[in-house]
């Protein structure tokens, strides 16, 4: 899936990942404080390569 599809999967409550990174989710979903974060809570700042990648997948 691409980055946009990964964002939509996270909006549905799922975890997504790329082969080069850990699982990413939306932290504080549904609040004004929501942001993308790794499972351990560290913020995820997507690079241009992340945004253009087609290798996103849903994590179990």
Q: What percent of the chain has pLDDT over 90?
A: 82
Structure tokens at 55: 């290798």
- pLDDT of 20 > 90? The answer is no
Separation of alpha carbons 10 and 34, rounded Å:
11
Alpha carbon distance 27, 35 (integer Å): 5
Domain total of the chain: 1
Cβ atoms of residues 15 and 24 within 8 Å: yes
Range of the domain at 11: 3-59
Encode pLDDT of 47-57 as tens digits.
999 999 999 99
Which residues, including other chains, have CB under 8 Å from residue 1's CB and lie 6 or more apart?
9, 16, 54, 56, 57, 58
- How far from each other are the two terminal CA atoms of the chain, in whole angstroms? 15
Cut 0.85: pTM above it: no
């Amino acid at each position: 899936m691409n980055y946009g599809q990964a964002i939509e999967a996270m909006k549905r409550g799922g975890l997504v990942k790329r082969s080069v990174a850990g699982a990413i989710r939306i932290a504080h979903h549904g609040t004004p404080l929501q942001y993308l974060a790794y499972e351990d809570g560290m913020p995820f700042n997507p690079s241009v390569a992340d945004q253009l990648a087609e290798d996103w997948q849903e994590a179990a």
